[in-house]
Amino acid sequence: MATVAEALADLSVGRRLKVLPLEELYTSGHRTCQGCESALVMRYMAKVAGPRTVVTGTTGCMYVANTSYNSTPWVVPWAHTQLGAAGSSALGTAAGLEALMRKGKIPREKINVIAFCSDGGGGDMGLSGISAAMQDTRYNLLILLYDNESYANTDIQASGMTPWGAVTSFTPSGTKKKISQHRWKKNVPALLMAGHPQGRYFASASSGFGMDLMEKVRIALDVGGPTFVQTHDPCPKGWDFDPRRSHELAILAVECGITVLWDFLEGELRYQGVTRQLVEGALKRRPVAEYLQIQGRFAHFGDEEIDYFQSQIDEMWEQWLLPGVLPATAIPQELELGTAAGRGRSEDV
Amino acid sequence: MTTIEKPVSTPGPAGGGPGYQEEILTGCDAVAQSLRLLDVDVLAGYPIRPYDAVMATVAKMIANGEMDAEFIIADSEHSQFEIGKHASLVGARSFIGSSGVGWMYGMEALVVTSSLRLPVVALVGNRALDDPGAFGVEHNDALMVRDTGWLLYWVETAQEALDMTLMAYRVAEDHRVMLPCALSMDGAFLTHSQHVVQVPGKAAVERFVPQYDLGDRRLHPDNPISVAPQFNEDWVMEARRQSDAAMRRVPGVIEEAAAEFKEVFGRGPEDPFVEAYMMQDAEYALVGMGTVGMVGKVAVDQMRAQGKKVGFLRVKWFRPFPASRLRSLLGGLKGIGVIDRDYSFGSNAWGGVLYTEVAAALYASGSRPVVVPFIAGLGGREVSVQNMVEIQGVVEQHIASQPAEVDCHWIGVREHVGKGGER
């Protein structure tokens, strides 16, 4: 096993992650649920970030279940921040460290600043603050959004990232209204990527693919500037399934084409792993029913609802210009994707 | 900021002190000068009038290389205050500010700043809350943090704004305190009016305000702590009690700092907590906060000329509230009129916030004077010398008629406007 320093030295941009540090920087001391994938994501994140890291975390599962007073899983410095404050806590932390280093009040060194948030804190309330952080190229910071698709520690309420049709305490299935969650899931990494051209790195990952996720976190920290990584994390409590199937579900979501593994670095959009095989046609998508039927939150689905869900995923894969990223299904004819034709400066015409 | 034609420089206090330069500054500019002198590390701004002038001045100073700091344009007041809080948590001296509903928008972040015991300093350019939209001064914005562990001070002049910005950091960052401090400044009347201000030198400021040191609470890889884990019923009450203990230590720290201020800068107020004007032999007092003090003191001069023994008492520190000072200064008087530039609909005697505090403080005095509540100057309406005389008249009338119930008087308001009378 490599030491932390040796292992992290090997994790620079463009190199595959081959060795991992032995040390855990997110360890015992939390009381997350059995089968909690987000706790695993925290562990992955801290492991590849290394000890010269400062972490802030918004209110949510990874606050309430992680850090009860007199007990903490964090070996790296960690501070709570408010539900909508992932972006602003990262900015404040990074700006404070930068000012102190520039003025010689603390030694100059690279300190990773990571703020994590949930789908509710990041995708709903904190979106504006994260957007501001993605614009501020003066600072190195990573926002990690762990997406467990509901306000899971509050009592399982729907967030803007809860899948269509899912039962939550705010979107029950009733005798008159079968589907209350009528909103299709918000695509946060894509909207952040498209809207912040000077952001340095954006990625969509999954708790089911740990190596891919750790590579993405590491790339984000290595390239510096404002970066964003989202992970898709099955939640036994919120989604109502047997905790032993957490990891299996995360993988299944990718195999069904519901979760899409991609990243965007220096102008290049890339698909990874199973997603890449789907894109290249080396693998066929599995029917979404396989994923939906394991979960109690979709137990009210009949054929009609399953078919609708499948049709939306099919449309994304078959019609979108970039599955999981760009919902446009056509572009103006004079624009040829991948070339500069028709997009030159006026004096070139 | 305009430098007067011939800047006045003095050698400062005896022993060859640092001296100062006189400049013509608005209230906001005066605060900005202090921020420069204090070498503030991180400032977060978000636009709302009238406090925003301080951020504009600071941004210009940074652009011109007169000040070295990270200036972040936030996406909202909530983010703005969180940025200030987290910068403070890594050991950076930080500054925020707002006005009116902007201050309210970031309320969650303000509350956690005090409960985390982080000495962020804020400027509140007092402004009426929406709706209806109004730019003028009302004190309700700043008063909204009065119960949360923020120190609150109301300034009257640009000089006081500069001085108290230094004092705010000195007191807030004191290890016995470690609480945030908000300076309140009447919108337009002070934020944007110019005064001649003595700007001290950097050496003197450094002597008066030591470097910010969060000690073993600093968030840094060399100090890998976990900050603000979840408590619940196990520990919350003890945490609140610690904030209370810190607040109780503040008056002593203020006294100490005020004495040292005089020593370093060769000037400073007689009483750091309240300004007592013509109170020595007073039988009556008018009480208020902020720029209403200027009008009040002119009115007192006029009434004194007519033989009326009236004084003006300006409350400067509102948190901690100087209750014992008020008891000793107001305890034996015949009557007191408290002028609130705020409202607290439905509160005791239908009065404002300051009235309630003053009345509660005087309840414990040996002879309880008559205290009459007044509401005036809301939304930036001018409070005139004539209004002050009117207020004094109502206090005297109140004593003469001895009504069964105390009732608040609205001064300078048009009653029953439009059709339908009361609404």
Q: What is the pLDDT of residue B10?
A: 55
Q: Between A51, A81, A128, which is nearest B221 by CB?
A: A51
CATH of the structural domain B274-410, one choice from 1.10.3720.10, 3.40.50.920, 1.10.1740.10, 3.40.640.10: 3.40.50.920
Query: The tokens 């640009």 sit on which residue?
Result: B158
Phi, psi of A61 (to 5 degrees): -50, -45
| pLDDT tens, chain A, 349 aa long | 455 666 665 555 556 677 888 999 999 999 999 999 999 999 999 999 999 999 999 999 999 999 988 889 999 999 999 999 999 999 999 999 999 999 999 999 999 999 999 999 999 999 999 999 999 999 999 999 999 999 999 999 999 999 999 999 999 999 999 999 999 999 999 999 999 999 999 999 999 999 999 999 999 999 999 999 999 999 999 999 999 999 999 999 999 999 999 999 999 999 999 999 999 999 999 999 999 999 999 999 999 999 999 999 999 999 999 999 999 999 887 776 656 555 566 665 4
CA of B80: which chain A residue's CA is closest? A88
- CB spacing of B70 vs A100 below 8 angstroms: no
Give the E-state strand segments of B350-410 in sequence order.
370-375, 409-410
Quote the CA–CA distance of B271 and B277 in Å, as a whole number. Answer: 11
| CATH superfamily, with its number, for domain A4-346 | Thiamin diphosphate (ThDP)-binding fold, Pyr/PP domains (3.40.50.970)
Burial of B74 (0-12, 13-18, 19+ CB in 10 A): buried
- CB spacing of A67 vs B69 below 8 angstroms: no
- CB spacing of B229 vs A96 below 8 angstroms: no
The H or E element that residue B407 is part of is none
Confidence band for B136, pLDDT divided at 50, 70 and 90:
very high
All residues at 6 or more sequence positions from B76 whose CB lies less than 8 Å from its CB, including other chains: A128, A129, B46, B105, B106
**What's the pTM?**
0.95
- CB spacing of A81 vs B86 below 8 angstroms: yes
Domain ranges of chain A: 4-346
All residues at 6 or more sequence positions from B388 whose CB lies less than 8 Å from its CB, including other chains: B286, B295, B296, B298, B299, B300
> Is the pLDDT reported for residue B329 higher than 50?
yes
Q: What is the pLDDT of residue A343?
A: 59
Question: CATH assignment of B9-265?
Answer: 3.40.50.970
- CB spacing of B224 vs A88 below 8 angstroms: no
Phi, psi of A29 (to 5 degrees): 120, -5
Contacts of A89 in chain B (CB under 8 A): 82-83, 85-86
Nearest CA-CA distance, residue A97 and chain B, Å = 7
> Is the pLDDT reported for residue B6 higher than 70?
no
Judged by DSSP in three states, A270 sits in: strand
Judged by DSSP in three states, B31 sits in: helix
Q: What is the pLDDT of residues B361-396, one digit of tens each?
A: 999 998 889 999 999 999 999 999 999 999 999 999
Residues belonging to chain A: 349
Q: Do domains B9-265 and B274-410 have the same CATH topology?
A: yes
**Mode of pairing for the β-strands spanning B317-319 and B151-154:** antiparallel
- Is A59 an 8 Å CB contact of chain B? no
Whether the complex's predicted ipTM is more than 0.90 is answered with yes
Contacts of A24 in chain B (CB under 8 A): none
Contacts of A128 in chain B (CB under 8 A): 75-76, 79
Residues belonging to chain B: 423
- CB spacing of A77 vs B86 below 8 angstroms: no
Count of CB atoms within 10 A of residue A311's CB? Answer: 11
Domain ranges of chain B: 9-265, 274-410
- CB spacing of A82 vs B89 below 8 angstroms: no
Query: Are B189 and B57 in contact, with CB atoms under 8 Å apart?
Result: no
